[in-house]
Amino acid sequence: MSLDLVKKLVILAKSNIMQSNNIDALEAIRIKFLGKKGYLNQHIKNINDTPSDIKPKLGAAINQAKKDIYTLFIEQKNILQSKNIKNTLITDTLDVTLPGRLSDIGTHHPITSTIKRMKIFFNTLGFSIIHSPEIEDDYFNFDSLNISKYHPSRDEHDTFWFDEKRLLRTHTSGVQIRAMTNKTPPIRIISFGRVYRKDYDQNHTPMFHQMEGLMVDSHVNFSYLKKILYDFLYNFFEKDIILRFRPSYFPFTEPSAEIDVMKQETGNWLELLGCGMVHPKILHHVDIDTKKFSGFAFGIGIERLTMLQYNIDDIRVFFKNDLQFLDQFKQYKDI
């Protein structure tokens, strides 16, 4: 390898580069001259055979040649790229008269629509919305609601525990305690949210939604509770339904009741919600004067309502993200 050869290689590379008229060809030239196995690197490998007096000069010349060729390569690449852009601008045409493409507009999830409708009903009656955490401690989820550590109803809740104290709330009723601790009567609140229980079948998913309602005032009684809930259900289903108000038990309400709806096809009763008068023990605990005030509370399963409204017989479809299922709700007017 001689200095002369290096010069010749530079000239050859230059003319190759100048003649290349597309980016792929240019890249092939770069590899031919500058690549790992390219001419110049091959020559560097042989430099040891060169007499030692010209070795440094030759090394420097090869490095300089690499730099020069690389500069030429970049320059030519820029030229070719801008040529490409110009060409596309000339050849690509845009037909502004073509009809636009309609994008597919989605719709609210049926659970979201149910929540919206419930909000409208209860907001109209003066209930305001409050939020409560999904990760609760055993105080708000159980103890404060009169469900002590060894109370049998704790077992019915099939709780997801994080540790000794913290859990995923099994119902929204903890919000009653938060509301009564933070506010003074009159109180009218509702709260929506996810609740969690270890359960999975056609009628249960480990996560589902509840709405909690609470009213504390000086004139609140059991028949008022029944009236509000019946009004809500008749209004919600917008059709004739048969309801049943049946005594029940919850540790935090006394008396307690549940409302069932009759399934028209089978005549079977289906439980919709739990409710009752807030237990005096709980009112005392949050410093509400039971001589002046009383309260009622209710908890409604949101999936249940939605399943009944649309005749859905498997709760699991709500959470499968199956577009075929979800697309059906486009036909219902959104509110």
Encode the chain in three state secondary structure: CCHHHHHHHHHHHHHHHHHCCCHHHHHHHHHHHHCCCCHHHHHHHHHHHCCCCCHHHHHHHHHHHHHHHHHHHHHHHHHHHHHHHHHHHHHCCCCCCCCCCCCCCCCCCHHHHHHHHHHHHHHHCCCEECCCCCEEEHHHHCHHHCCCCCCHHHHHCCCCECCCCEEECCCCCHHHHHHHHHCCCCEEEEEEEEEECCCCECCECCEEEEEEEEEEECCCCHHHHHHHHHHHHHHHHCCCCCEEEEEEEECCEEEEEEEEEECCCCCCEEEEEEEEEECHHHHHHCCCCCCCCEEEEEEEEHHHHHHHHHCCCCHHHHHCCCHHHHHHHHHCCCC
Closest contact distance (angstroms) between CB of 172 and ligand PHE is 7
73 binds ligand PHE (CB under 6 A): no
Beta carbon of residue 184, minimum distance to ligand PHE (angstroms, whole number): 21
Residue 192 sits in the site that holds ligand PHE (CB under 6 A): no
Residue 297 or 315 having the CB closest to ligand PHE:
297
β-strands 243-250, 269-278 pairing: unpaired
* Minimum CB–partner distance for residue 296 and ligand PHE (Å): 8
User: Does position 173 bind ligand PHE by CB under 6 A?
Assistant: yes
Q: Tell me the closest approach of the beta carbon of residue 299 to ligand PHE, in angstroms.
A: 3
Would you give the binding string for ligand PHE spanning residues 304-323, x where CB under 6 A is met? --------------------
Tell me whether strands 207-217 and 243-250 are parallel, antiparallel or unpaired.
unpaired
Exactly one of 142, 192, 232, 250 binds ligand PHE (CB under 6 A); that residue is: 250
Residue closer to ligand PHE by CB (options 20, 172) is: 172
- CB–CB of 180/286 below 8 Å? yes
Contact between 171 and ligand PHE per CB under 6 A: yes
- Pick from 293, 299, 303, 305: which binds ligand PHE (CB under 6 A)? 299
168 binds ligand PHE per the rule CB under 6 A: no
As a whole number of angstroms, the distance between CA 176 and CA 215 comes to 9
Query: Of the two residues 65 and 145, which places its CB atom closer to ligand PHE in the complex?
Result: 145
Residue 73 or 298 with smaller CB distance to ligand PHE: 298
191 binds ligand PHE (CB under 6 A): no
Listed in sequence order, the residues at least 6 apart from 284 whose beta carbon sits closer than 8 Å to its beta carbon are: 290
> Residue 41 or 153: which CB sits closer to ligand PHE?
153
> Binding string to ligand PHE for residues 273 to 292, with x set by CB under 6 A, is what?
-xxx----------------
The answer to whether residue 113 forms part of the interface with ligand PHE (CB under 6 A) is no
The span of 4-12, 123-131, 262-270, 293-301 binding ligand PHE (CB under 6 A) equals 293-301
Rule CB under 6 A: say whether 297 interacts with ligand PHE.
yes
- For ligand PHE, which residue has the nearest CB? 299
Closer CB to ligand PHE, residue 110 or residue 193?
193
Site for ligand PHE in 206-225 (CB under 6 A): none
Q: Is 111 within 8 Å of 209 (Cβ atoms)? A: yes
Query: Which range, of 35-43, 80-88, 123-131, 295-303, touches ligand PHE by CB under 6 A?
Result: 295-303
Of the candidate spans 29-37, 65-73, 268-276, 312-320, the one that interacts with ligand PHE by CB under 6 A turns out to be 268-276
**CB-neighbour burial class of residue 81 (10 A; exposed 0-12, middle 13-18, buried 19+):** exposed
Residues lying near ligand PHE in the complex (CB under 6 A) are found at 171, 173, 250, 253, 274-276, 297-299
